[in-house]
Amino acid sequence: MVENSGVLGWFLLNPKTPPFASHKTLFAFLWVAALASLFVWQRNTISGFLVLGGVPVQPPPKLRPVVFCLTEFGGVGDGVTLNTEAFERGVRAISKLGNKGGGQLTVPPGRWLTAPFNLTSHMTLFLAPDAVILAIQDEKYWPLMPALPSYGYGREHPGPRYTSLIHGQNLRDVVITGHNGTINGQGQTWWTKYRQKLLNHTRGPLVQILWSSDIVISNITLRDSPFWTLHPYDCKNVTVKNVTILAPVYHAPNTDGIDPDSCEDMLIEDCYISVGDDAIAIKSGWDQYGITYGRPSKNIVIRNLVVRSNVSAGISIGSEMSGGVSNVLVENILVWESRRAMRIKTAPGRGGYVRQITYRNLVFKNVRVGIVIKTDYNEHPGAGYDPKALPILRDVRFINIRGQGVRVPVRIQGSEQIPIRNVTFQNMKVGTTYKKKHIFQCAFVQGQVIGTISPAPCDSFDRYDEQGQLVKHAASQNVTDIDYEI
Ligand SMILES: *[C@@H]1O[C@H](CO)[C@@H](O)[C@H](O)[C@H]1NC(C)=O
Ligand SMILES: *[C@@H]1O[C@H](CO)[C@@H](O)[C@H](O)[C@H]1NC(C)=O
Ligand SMILES: *[C@@H]1O[C@H](CO)[C@@H](O)[C@H](O)[C@H]1NC(C)=O
Ligand SMILES: *[C@@H]1O[C@H](CO)[C@@H](O)[C@H](O)[C@H]1NC(C)=O
Ligand SMILES: *[C@@H]1O[C@H](CO)[C@@H](O)[C@H](O)[C@H]1NC(C)=O
Ligand SMILES: *[C@@H]1O[C@H](CO)[C@@H](O)[C@H](O)[C@H]1NC(C)=O
Ligand SMILES: *[C@@H]1O[C@H](CO)[C@@H](O)[C@H](O)[C@H]1NC(C)=O
Ligand SMILES: *[C@@H]1O[C@H](CO)[C@@H](O)[C@H](O)[C@H]1NC(C)=O
Ligand SMILES: *[C@@H]1O[C@H](CO)[C@@H](O)[C@H](O)[C@H]1NC(C)=O
């Protein structure tokens, strides 16, 4: 994956590379390269670990001075026995080792049913191949926790919310890793109860880490979360690398992949995400609560991902962004079979800002709407929000965008209240499925297009040539050409 996405990146950066006679050929090549890299990546992993009749050759590595196995604390991996106490005992043992470099809790192959439990600092949770941590489905086992301060609200219901299956707060130096073991939220019963309106509290995430720093999540699979899958909240220095996140793409409500929320210094790379909502959604709190809490998401790099979102978007910012979002780089991303590829969403009442956002080397394959900026996403935590708290949206760049089978490549919908400023497009060529006009839709947006882009941009942009010479001034920044019928 890593080597090959390098190749992918190279060709995206050099779209005029000679061997490719036409863009069609180039795209076909890119797509094959992207898929091939995915398969090579997955095959390597499997052949590396599961040989000799399914017996794992590679023993769990020793990643901390002290290593415990879950079975030492009475764990039984039969898929039926409840292991909550075994996990809690393991965590307690590790919590006593902090000043000695911490400890590792290895989860061996097996199916380890558990209720929610807490992590501790200086801890590595290691999932062996074929180790599956299974969440108990009965909500009676899921404790309630206070609402997050920047949401003021459970999110789906007022008041408290269910805790996450794996939870941590006020921690330092936590690693969740493995040889591609799985944390399975068994979300099906939660999704059904949510749809039938049988729940009185907001569903719990799969993994949630609050007010913590130096967090690494790598080399594992997360699947079927009841709610958002991985939710780092007000954390610093978080790395998510080589993680597979899965949920049904349909009828698995709010199963976002990763939600960096009021987080600083975060890297997400080399992941495959296919879920029932946004693959990634960068957030920073909701309306008056988020404004008061005032913690932005900033310095975030998201790269080398393959993502799919049937109902929402590949990579989103918002809609809860009231603490602000800035300095985000999104690069080398393949979005396939999705409703939207990249989306920034906000509304009056949010306050905050979204700025210094760069998207580079993106490939869209069969997506309905490629790039979306939406300023009327009117979902609010009750009635107490200030409609005059207007978010600022500016300094957004799109560089090297390719695509095929896209219905509406661009829909940027600012408003008189929330105009969008300084948007740049450079080097874009997206093949469309719908040969009508108005597939580059704009309203209240100001910015520039550098070089030629396809499809042709709306008249809201100043046009420059490749050498940076102004070719044509924008005609009509405030004209509205948004058409949801397409
Ligand atoms: C890890 O396991 C998941 C689900 O079992 C699988 O889809 C994925 O290909 C595996 N990832 C790697 C890197 O082997
Ligand atoms: C986890 O820690 C939080 C915060 O200290 C606490 O409120 C909660 O009860 C703990 N949960 C469990 C399942 O032990
Ligand atoms: C990704 O994780 C798998 C195990 O889940 C491992 O075999 C593989 O080497 C990892 N790849 C990278 C680039 O770390
Ligand atoms: C929700 O509240 C109702 C009314 O108090 C109660 O009958 C029901 O059991 C609750 N449901 C859950 C899942 O807690
Ligand atoms: C970030 O966290 C990683 C993993 O714990 C650690 O190795 C690194 O030193 C941290 N970086 C900073 C700048 O603190
Ligand atoms: C992922 O697994 C590979 C193969 O075991 C290992 O080399 C690498 O260090 C791991 N990466 C992380 C970030 O844990
Ligand atoms: C989403 O899934 C439905 C049902 O499988 C399918 O009909 C639809 O085409 C999918 N949408 C996208 C954008 O892939
Ligand atoms: C426009 O945004 C770019 C980054 O995308 C930034 O470098 C530049 O300074 C901004 N220009 C203005 C006039 O704000
Ligand atoms: C477009 O609308 C914005 C915000 O309402 C305003 O500041 C700007 O002057 C208008 N521009 C034009 C060209 O009318």
Tell me the per-residue pLDDT of 90-106, one tens digit each, with 9 for 90 and over. Answer: 999 999 998 889 999 99
Q: Which residue's CA is minimally distant from atom 9 of ligand 5? A: 214
- What mean pLDDT comes out for the span 467-481? 91
Spot the catalytic one: 259, 277, 278, 395.
Answer: 277
pLDDT value of position 15: 35
Return the percentage of the chain with pLDDT > 70, whole number.
88
* Ligand 4 contact, 139 CB (< 6 A): yes
Residue 44 has pLDDT above 90, yes or no: no
Return the percentage of the chain with pLDDT > 90, whole number.
83
- Ligand 6 centroid to residue 179 C-alpha, Å: 8
- What mean pLDDT comes out for the span 191-206? 97
Contacts of 145-150 with C-beta under 8 Å, sequence gap 24+, read 148/210, 148/233, 148/285, 149/289, 149/293, 150/234, 150/261, 150/262, 150/284, 150/285, 150/286, 150/289, 150/290, 150/292, 150/293, 150/295, 150/320, 150/322, 150/323
Catalytic: 277?
yes
- What mean pLDDT comes out for the span 214-232? 98
Residue 476 CA: which ligand 9 atom is closest? 13
**CB-defined site of ligand 9, < 6 Å:** 416, 419, 444, 477-478
Neighbours of 46 (CB within 10 A): 11
- Ligand 4 centroid to residue 162 C-alpha, Å: 14
pLDDT value of position 309: 98
**CB-defined site of ligand 6, < 6 Å:** 177, 218-219, 241-242
pLDDT value of position 57: 54
**Radius of gyration of the chain measured on its C-alpha atoms:** 23
Q: How far apart are CA 171 and CA 212, in angstroms?
A: 5
pLDDT for 373-399, tens place per residue?
Answer: 999 999 999 889 999 999 999 999 999
- Ligand 4 centroid to residue 352 C-alpha, Å: 36
- Ligand 2 centroid to residue 122 C-alpha, Å: 17
Domains of the chain with CATH codes: 2-380 (2.160.20.10)
- Ligand 8 centroid to residue 395 C-alpha, Å: 5
pLDDT value of position 51: 38
- What mean pLDDT comes out for the span 324-346? 98
Residue 199 CA: which ligand 4 atom is closest? 13
Q: How far apart are CA 4 and CA 11, in angstroms?
A: 11
Decide the pairing of beta strands 161-162 and 144-145: antiparallel
pLDDT band with cut points at 50, 70 and 90 for residue 125: very high
The CA-CA-CA angle for residues 272, 15, 340, to 5°, reads 40
* Ligand 8 contact, 424 CB (< 6 A): yes
* Best of 418, 478, 480 for a ligand 9 pocket test (most atoms within 8 Å of beta carbon): 478
- What mean pLDDT comes out for the span 405-418? 97
* Ligand 7 contact, 407 CB (< 6 A): no
Number of the ligand closest to the Cα of 200: 4
pLDDT value of position 34: 53
Average pLDDT of the residues of the chain = 90
Helices (H) and strands (E) in the chain, counts: 5, 33
Residue 471 has pLDDT above 60, yes or no: yes
Residue 244 CA: which ligand 3 atom is closest? 5
Q: How far apart are CA 352 and CA 393, in angstroms?
A: 9
Q: What residues contact 482, with CB distance under 8 A and at least 6 apart?
A: 411, 413, 441, 442, 443
For tokens 């020793």, the residue is 62
What is the model's pTM?
0.91
Residue 320 has pLDDT above 60, yes or no: yes
Residue 85 has pLDDT above 60, yes or no: yes
pLDDT for 4-37, tens place per residue?
Answer: 333 333 334 333 333 333 333 434 444 445 544 4
- What mean pLDDT comes out for the span 237-247? 98
pLDDT value of position 40: 43
pLDDT for 135-188, tens place per residue?
Answer: 999 999 999 999 999 999 888 999 999 999 999 999 999 999 999 999 999 999
**CB burial readout 111-138, b (16+ within 10 A) else e:** bbbbbbbbbbbbbbbbbbbbbbbbbbbe
